[in-house]
Structures are given as C-alpha cells and as structure tokens.
Structure 1
Amino acid sequence: MEPAAEGMLTPVLRGGTKVQEGHERDRITRARTVYRDERGYYFDPAARPWVALRPPIVHWGPAPYDVAHALGVEPGAEVLIRDRVMGDPQNREPVQLATSYLPADLARGTILAETDTGPGGIYDRLEEMGHGPLRWSEVVVASAPSEAETEALSLAPGVPLLRLIRTTHSADGQVLEVNDCRMSGERWEIGYELLRSSGTESGR
C-alpha cells in the first residue's frame, strides 16, 4: 500500500508530500460493565467526560445494510436516525461521531423521535416504555471514512475509522437500537482486560 494511502504522507500545495506526524494513541479500555451517572448510562470511563457538541440531528432515513441486518429489517427500510457529534466540552474538539438507529415501529410517534429525549436519554425512555432491563452487545470494526466523516473528525488522508457498533436489546431479546460510534483509528485504540478462566478444558 502506498504511504499516502496509509496516512503516513500528506499531499501539500504546489506538489510534493510531507511526513504526517505520528500520534501516540489514547486507549479506551472497555469493561464488561455498563455504568450509570446523573446523565444516564455510559460504557467506558474514558469517554464519560465527552458531551454532545450540538443538539442531535434527528431524522428518518434508510437503514444501511449492516445496520438493517442487526435491527432485523430490510436494507433501505425507514428507521429513526439520531446523529450526534461528541467531544471535549472545554476545547469543543469533535472526537466521536455517534449515530443511533431505531426501528420505525418502535420509535414513531414517541419521545424517541424528539430532539430532546429528557434526562437519561433514549435508554431511560426505552426502559420507561417497558423494554427494560436493557442489555447490550458490541463489536469493534474498522472502515474507510466517508468524506463527511473525514471532515467532521479532521482525519488525515488514509486514516481509517475505528468503529464501536453497539446493539441494545430488550429484556426479552428484541433489538431496540444499533449505535455506531466512529472515531479516528490513528488517535484511539481499544483495550480489554482479559480474565483467566477458573476451570480447565477437557483434554488439556
């Protein structure tokens, strides 16, 4: 792969390239614990101080293919989309794009489709609607950013997105939401603590 495509070189005006400065990655340590404070649920202490830098953009739109599969709807089916830009409240720097997708039959005509969903956000509202206690699962993937994502996160050319895709389940297993969190793959890394099993495998 060419260095420019890997984000190592940056094109400059009037031709040529310059070496992109390296950045030591900040670690987000994911625990198998969902926390809660006065603002509602959160999923890792590293991201807890981040806040929405502007009101969420709430609209109806087609479900992307991978999200549709997780939600159990047809690709392109209309879903509720809630877009947020998260960042440091002090310097107002965007560090994460977070998009929630909710099935239309769950969200239409409810407070879930409002810009302000109140204290605790959509997760408190979902539990108040009788879907709790909520459960979550997540996967970590990488992908190429769109032009809009590159601009929003100020990504250098060739830098991939690090994506945490979290699925919210009701107590009876219904999928209620898919949350796609995107951040710079150059700036952030995901860490997990490994636990040693108390048992032994047969034949080992």
Structure 2
Amino acid sequence: MVLDLADDDTACVRRFVLDGKPALLTASYPPTSMVARSAITQENTGPGGTYARLAELGYTPVHFREEIRSRMPTKNEAAQLDISAGTPVILVCRTAFANEGRPVSINEMTLDAASYILEYDFDA
C-alpha cells in the first residue's frame, strides 16, 4: 500500500464539489495518525487546503506523482457532476510525498472531462 498505514491506522476521507459547480469530485486520504485533531479532518481545511495543513504538521509535500486515466462516469458520478452518461470523466490519482520520499496523502479526483484542460510542463 502506498501510504504504508499501520494495521490500526485509517485514512481521513473528505468528499466535496468545488465552486458550487459540480465539475470535480475529490477524496483525500492522509493517514489519520498524521492528521488527527487537525484542520485536515474538517470540511473546510482553511487557506491553502490540505497541503498547507500538512506543512504546518511537519509533512511538507515536496514531490507529487499523478496517475491519469479516463472512462465513462458511473451513474452516481454522472448525477453528482450533473453530466450525461455519455460525457467522459478524467480520473487523477495524486500522491504527495514529504522529505525522504515519505507518502503523506493520496488524492483521488474525478473530473468532468468537458470542464478541464490538464497541462503539464516538464524538462526531458
């Protein structure tokens, strides 16, 4: 498992739609042992979101890895995103890593493909 959770550890899960327009569904999974009793476990994590709160706790993300896939939405996703069943969704799974390669959060995002352009800029 990417987060290498202890047997008695769980993940803190939050799901929401952004900007009042259903264009993105997201679930974040930072280990509860890292974020218990912090703003990360609240619906509104505050300015800077989850990554700013991780930094305040000493787990500053310094590297990210994303896996990207696309598919047709499930009935539930189509309803939550207010899209037709024929509109594809983009699935982004982002893992945030702190120093020494320690994974500190997984964020699974489901995007309405008609609402987003994904742009990546990197050196060869």
Q: What is the aligned partner in structure 1 of residue 42 from structure 2?
A: 114
Residue identity matched to 2:105:
E
Partner Cα distance (1:165, 1:72) in 2 = 17
Partner of 2:53: 125
For 1:79, the equivalent position in structure 2 comes to 11
After TM superposition, list the pairs within 5 Å mapping 1:30-109 onto structure 2.
69-73=1-5, 78-87=10-19, 92-109=20-37
Distance 1:186 1:118, change over 3 A: closer
Deviation at 1:171, TM superposition (A): 1.4
| Distance in 2 separating the partners of 1:136 and 1:158 | 31
TM-score normalised per structure 1: 0.51
Instruction: Decide whether the 8 Å contact of 2:55 with 2:61 is kept in 1.
Output: yes
1:142 equivalent to 2:74? Answer no
The answer to whether the 8 A contact 1:127-1:134 is kept is: no
Counterparts of 1:3-42 in structure 2 under 5 Å?
Answer: none
SS at 2:29's partner residue?
A: strand
**Larger RCO (alpha carbons 8 Å, 6+ apart):** 2
Find the structure with the greater CA-based Rg. 1
Match of 1:154 in 2: 82
* TM, length-normalised to structure 2: 0.78
Range with greater deviation from structure 2 (98-107 or 137-146): 137-146
CA deviations 1:155-200 (Å, max 9, x no partner) are 21243320121111111221111111211234544344575x5xxx
Give 5+ residue unaligned stretches, structure 2.
none
Cα deviation code 1:96-123 (max 9, x no counterpart):
1122111122122333212333322221
Identity of aligned residues (%): 25
Distance 1:190 1:164 in 2: 10
| Structure with the bigger percentage of strand | 1
2: distance between equivalents of 1:141 and 1:147?
A: 18
In 1, Cα distance between the equivalents of 2:118 and 2:89? 12
Question: Match of 2:45, SS?
Answer: coil
